[in-house]
């Protein structure tokens, strides 16, 4: 764990707030589910779907196209969830 002085120094240096990300993927899916409540797992599972799509896009060399499509669709329709947007754009790219 980092000391508070390091957080403050980093925040001042980069002129941005600093947070700690939850690392996903170093445990099995069953172990991860046990750590979360049902509502927490629903949110995490959506994030994991988005991460999988991004991972595939990077490995296939289609990340730039994916990010542009997500940006355009978010601007047109703000009612769609992030998972729906990513899935829709990923299907369009791969068809």
Model confidence pTM above 0.75: no
The reported pLDDT for the residue numbered 85 is 92
The reported pLDDT for the residue numbered 27 is 65
Average pLDDT of the residues of the chain: 78
Q: In 3-state terms, what secondary structure has residue 33?
A: helix
| 8 A C-beta contact, residue 49 and residue 91 | no
DSSP label at residue 79:
T
Domain boundaries, the chain: 23-94
Averaged pLDDT in 10-residue chunks for the chain of 95 residues: 65 64 58 71 78 87 91 86 92 91
For residue 76, what are its two tokens?
């047109």
Of the candidates 31, 5, 34, 32, the one whose C-alpha atom is nearest the C-alpha of residue 18 is 5
Sign of CA dihedral 23, 25, 30, 31: negative
The reported pLDDT for the residue numbered 93 is 93
């Amino acid at each position: 764990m980092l000391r508070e002085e390091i957080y403050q120094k980093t925040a001042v240096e980069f002129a941005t707030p600093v947070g700690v990300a939850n690392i996903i993927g170093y445990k099995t899916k069953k172990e991860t589910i046990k750590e979360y409540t049902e509502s927490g797992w629903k949110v995490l599972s959506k994030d994991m779907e988005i991460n999988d799509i991004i991972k595939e896009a990077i490995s296939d060399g289609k990340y730039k196209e994916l990010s542009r499509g997500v940006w355009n669709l978010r601007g047109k329709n703000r009612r769609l969830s992030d998972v729906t947007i990513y899935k829709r754009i990923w299907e369009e790219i791969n068809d």
